[in-house]
Structure formats: C-alpha cells, structure tokens
Chain A
Amino acid sequence: MLRKVAIVGQAQMNAADSGMSRERMLFELCKGFYDSMGITRHDIDTFVLCSNDFASGHTISNVFEDCPVGAYMKDETKVEADGVMAATYAMIRIMSGLYDTALVVGNSQGGSVMRPYLVMEYTLNQTYDRQLGLMNELSAAALQARAYMDEFGLTEEQLNKIAARNLRNAALNPFAFNGRADVTPEDVAASDLLYEPLRQLHCYPFTDGACVLLLASEEKAKELTDRPVWIKGVGDSLDTYYPERNAVRSKSVKLAGQRAYKMADVGDPANRIDVAEVSAKFAHQEPIICEGLGLFPEGSGGEVADRGLADLDGAMPICPSGGALGAYAFNAGGLVRLAECHRQLAGDAGDTQVVDARTALAHGQDGFCMQHNAVMIVSVEEG
C-alpha cells in the first residue's frame, strides 16, 4: 500500500423528515463534527461530496453544499454514487500524497424532498423500461427476492426474521430512526404487502440523512485521534443492467469483495471479519450480499436466520446498526455503513457494540438490484 490512510472520526444524522433545508442539515452536522473533533474547516485539505442532482433538484448539486460543509475556497470534488465509492476516492486522494486530510460528506433528503423510488426510476432505460412502466425499484427487488427464495429455499418466515433482526438492532442505534424494539417476524408478516413477497417492513425507509467521515494520512491521523481506524482494502465492481444478469449470485459483489480482500490480505473473510455492515436496501439482499462476500456459504440465508448467526452475538454479526432498514439516505447509505464500522472499531457502538471487534467490512451499492458494489475493509490493526 502507498500511504496508510485512517478514518479518524464520523458523524451522521438520519430522520424520516429532518425539517431542515439540505444546507442547514449539512451545516449542523459538519459544524458539530468539527467542534466534537476540536478542529476547524481549515484542518481539511480536500472535500469529497456525495450527492445526486436528480434527488436534490439542482444540477451540480454540490455547489450549494460547499459553504455549509466548510469547503469555501477549498479543494472540492463530487461523487454521484454511493458513499463507499466517495470514501474510496477520498482515500486515493490522500494516498496520492497531495492531501493529508479529506472530509467525505454524503447526503440526500429522500424523506422530505424527493422520493427515492422516483430517483431510482430515472436510472432505468428511458426508451424501454420507463416507457413500459412495469419495472420500478420495488418490483425489481421483489423479483430478486423471489429468485433467491426459489433458488435456495428461503421461506417468507425466514425473510421476516432477517427484517425483524435489523429493525430490532435499529432500535438500539441512536442514529437510526426506523427501529422497532420488540418487533417479531409475525409483525413483519402483518405489514402491508407491496410486491410479493416483499412487505413494507422488508424495505428501507424514506430517509433524510447525511453522514460525514474524516480521513487522514498516517501522521495526521495520529495527531487527530488515539483511536485511528485504518483502511486496509477497497474493492469495486459494476455489473450490467438488471434483467441481463444473475441478481442472486451477484458477480459484482463477489468481485468487489475479492478485490478488497486481496488488498487487505484477508484470506478467509469468514474468520477475519469481526462485523459487517452491508447496504441491504431490502431484507433479502442481506444474504445475497453476505454470500457474495464469502461471509456465509452460498444459499445459507435461511439457516443463518434460523440459527441467529448474524445476530449481535452471532458468529458473524451483520448490521448491528440495523442496516438500511433502520435508515437509508441515498448517497449517504454506504457512508453510514462505514461510519458504523468506525463506531464498532472505536468502541463507540453503545448497545450495538460487538465484543472485541477489530476488523470490519462496509459495503455500499448503487443502481437497480445492486448493479454497482463497493467494499471497504477497516481495522484497528495498523499493520
């Protein structure tokens, strides 16, 4: 690896409706973050902003974000994809030697400003799928869910267990808003049927949210914190358009994972990873992603759910934060997963803390049924 890069701090906010403008939401979050770290905007060398023009209703949507996040007259760039991809870009900028600190900020207001299902609709083929109107984020996800269930025998009851576990975890996480403390698989089964087999509680909630992560070079990281979380590996892979690929055995999840493991020198992820935060926007995507990443054997989603292997105290805790079912702001989603890994490894995860977590995996996705996947491996071990 060229230069070592660490995550030195994070802050996040998620709500069904923040009640704030995007600019104020970002200002409150970033100013609060600077204050909590005892730094100012002048300590940041480069800014990587992660937002979506269509979602915010601005072309070059970052132009109204620069001043609120503290980027006035600074070096700034934008990623219009998931936050893990933005964090990867920030890491590379530090590794280049040009910068010592990078602030990554992802945001969208899918709860109050623009429904994410519409944003996703506009990622579809405009001359075919958008003309026919049959494909949307929910119908596509339902087809993906059915395909996994048919292929590997996952039952609706097991699917409900996956959702219930995430919603219960989210109730323990102060940064999630959609948590339900005592929710049971039966409660999930009683929620509204959307596209079979998906019900309301299998799906990510419309979210206003933002997340900020501070990355730093080795020297700078050690100045800024005594608990740096080191970035050990990154991987990214982009698949073809939805109906043309196998969405149950996701090749791009697998490749993104393999690339990150190779860089991080992780030979056996099921043993080396202590906790994983994956961007499963729908309950059934959790086993697809985890299996693609080699955290569980292929097709084991039902058994994992029945035996509680992904529970907080399970063999491989998945999304102690509650994952995307607890909150999922477009663009900030993967960044929140990374921030949650930071909380885990810094020992800041409170009621969702995984005991002895030393190495964690964050996953982000973009596009229909996980077309684009990115993985980051982080660890307290400087190595």
Chain B
Amino acid sequence: MAEKPEKLVVDVQVPVDYTYNYRIGPYLERYIKGLGEKKILGVTCPECSKVTVPPRKICGACNRVLDEWVEVGPAGTVENYTVGHVKINKGLVEKLDSPQLLAMIKLDGATVPLLAEVKSIEPTELKKGLRVKAVFKDPPEDSLSDLSHFEAEG
C-alpha cells in the first residue's frame, strides 16, 4: 500500500433525491382497510399452514399463492423484544430522549410475528411471554399506522 493519503481539501457532497411511486398491491391494501375496522388480517399457506402477517401473495418456502384470508389477534404474545436507546436517521445513529420499546408479537392465530412498538409499560416490564393487545388509530387514516401500537393486556 501507498503512504497515508494527503488531507482532502474539498469534500464533494452528492445528494440523490428521488421519489419512487410503489404500488402497495391488493394484499397490503386489504390489510390496511382491515386495520380501519380494527381487524388484523393474515393469509394462510395451503401447503405449510403458516399464517403470514402482514399478508402477502406468496409463500417463499412453498412457492405457493396465499389466498386464504384469516383474522388474527388483536391480542398476542411477545415472542422477542428490544429496547431502543437510539434511532437510525438516514444511516446515522442518533440518541433517543426516551427509550423505544419494540416487540416481535405472535398474534393469536398467526405464525409469523409482527414487529411493533409497545407503549404504556416500563422498559423492564417488556419480557418474552407478555400478553399485549393492539391499539388502533381512531378515526383511521387509511395507512399502516392505523395499527398504532400495542399495550399490555388487561
């Protein structure tokens, strides 16, 4: 390798600002509409019986079309969790003022866990096995965030 490079004089910044117009497709659309009615919808694989939430058209493992819709939750069990003390903003790590509680929640009737925020409990209360229930936005805004967060059941 060559000697240590000289100090740079000019730092060229190249921002790239593009908007991609993705279609969310009929599966996520139906899911979002369900959230507006306070229902969480998933799809069942006819081959492996896995219930996937949020729903999507294809079971990757079985290479099958998923077209059997099923309502899951709105309560579930924390399967896995993390307490975030930072957030990532455009690739940069930034400290949070108050911790963010994230959980992988196995909704009643589902196989694939859903990653969601848990509120109204202390970080130390977030444990595997904790029963939680969904809190929906009211009135709904026709967006994924209509499933606002989860809170402890009971």
Chain A interface residues (CB < 8 Å from chain B): 11, 13, 18-20, 24, 28-29, 32, 57, 114-119, 121, 126-129, 131-132, 134-139, 142-143, 146-147, 150, 192-198, 240-241, 243-244
A134 B24 Cβ-Cβ under 8 A = no
How far is A18 from B4 in the complex, measured between Cα atoms in Å?
9
Q: In the complex, what distance in Å separates the CA atom of A126 from the CA atom of B145?
A: 15
A319 to chain B, nearest CB (A): 22
Number of A-B contacts (CB under 8 A): 105
Top 10 closest pairs, chain A to chain B, by CB: A118-B91, A115-B91, A142-B82, A240-B60, A19-B5, A196-B83, A136-B88, A127-B24, A195-B82, A117-B91
Can you list 12 pairs linking A and B with CB atoms under 8 Å apart?
A: A19-B8, A57-B16, A116-B91, A134-B117, A138-B93, A139-B84, A146-B82, A193-B85, A194-B84, A195-B83, A243-B104, A243-B112
**Residue in A116, A117, A121, A143 with the greatest tally of chain B CB atoms within 10 Å:** A143
- Residues of chain A within 8 A (CB-CB) of B117 are 134
Q: How far is the CA of A116 from the CA of B81 in the complex (A)?
A: 23
Bound Cα distance A135, B16 (Å): 23
Chain A, residue nearest B147 (CB): A132
Q: Of all chain A residues, which has the CB nearest B79?
A: A147
| Cβ proximity bits B83-97 to A, threshold 8 Å, 1 near / 0 not | 111101011110000
Given contacts A127-B22, A143-B82, 14 further A-B contacts (CB under 8 A): A11-B1, A117-B91, A117-B93, A121-B91, A126-B22, A143-B81, A146-B81, A194-B84, A194-B86, A195-B84, A195-B86, A240-B60, A240-B61, A244-B112
Q: Are A118 and B90 in contact, with the CB atoms below 8 A? A: yes
B106-125 interface bits toward A, Cβ cutoff 8 Å, 1 = contact, 0 = none: 00000011111100000000
B7 and A196: CB pair below 8 A?
Answer: no
Residue among B2, B16, B116 with the most chain A CB within 10 A? B2
Residues of B7-56 whose CB lies within 8 A of A: 7-8, 14, 16, 20, 22-25, 28, 50, 52, 54
Q: How far is the CB of B32 from chain A (nearest CB, A)?
A: 10
Q: Please tell me if B132 contacts chain A, counting CB pairs below 8 Å.
A: no
Complex CA distance for A147 and B103, rounded to whole angstroms: 11
Chain B hits for A11, CB < 8 A: 1
Asked if A128 meets B116 with Cβ closer than 8 Å, knowing A114-B91, A115-B92, A121-B88, the reply is no
Q: Which residues of A contact B83 (CB under 8 A)?
A: 195-196
- Tell me, rounded to whole Å, the shortest Cβ–Cβ distance linking B79 to chain A: 8
Is B92 touching A243 in the complex (CB atoms < 8 A)?
A: no
Shortest Cβ distance from residue B31 to the other chain A in the assembled complex, whole angstroms: 9
Whether B88 and A117, one on each chain, are in contact in the complex, defined by CB atoms closer than 8 angstroms, is yes
Min C-beta distance of B113 to chain A, whole Å: 6
Contacts of B64 in A (CB 8 A): none
- Note all chain A residues with C-beta closer than 8 A to B128: 150
Q: With the chains together, A147 CA to B115 CA distance in Å?
A: 14
Residues of B within 8 A of A (CB): 1-2, 4-8, 14, 16, 20, 22-25, 28, 50, 52, 54, 60-61, 80-86, 88, 90-93, 102, 104, 112-117, 128, 144-145
Q: Which residues of B have CB within 8 Å of A29?
A: 1
Are A138 and B88 within 8 A (Cβ)?
A: yes
What's the Cα separation between A317 and B40 when bound, in Å?
A: 48
Q: Which of B22, B81, B91, B104 contacts A119 (CB 8 A)?
A: B91
In the bound complex, residues from chain A placing their C-beta under 8 Å from that of B86 are 138, 192, 194-195
Q: Which chain A residues lie closer than 8 Å to B91 at the CB level?
A: 114-119, 121
User: Is B93 a contact of A194 with CB atoms below 8 Å?
Assistant: yes
- Given contact pairs A28-B2, A57-B14, A146 touches B80 in the complex (Cβ within 8 A): yes
Separation of A143 and B105 alpha carbons in the complex (Å): 12
CB distance from A191 to the nearest CB of B (A): 12
A99 to B54: give the CA distance in the assembly, Å.
47
Distance in Å: Cβ of A382 to nearest Cβ of chain B? 31
With both beta carbons as reference points, the residue of chain B lying nearest to A239 in the complex is identified as B60
- Give the contacting residue for B7; candidates A19, A142, A195; CB below 8 A: A19
Residues of A contacting B52 with CB < 8 Å? 244
Closest to A137 in B: B88
Contact A143 B80, beta carbon cutoff 8 Å? yes
Contact B113 A20 (CB under 8 A): no
Residue of B nearest to A206 (CB): B91
Q: Is A19 a contact of B60 with CB atoms below 8 Å?
A: no
Q: How far is the CB of A117 from chain B (nearest CB, A)?
A: 5
Q: Which one of A117, A139, A147, A244 contacts B60 once the chains associate, using CB atoms below 8 Å?
A: A244
Residues in A whose Cβ lies below 8 Å from that of B81: 143, 146
Cα distance A32–B1 in the bound complex, in angstroms: 6
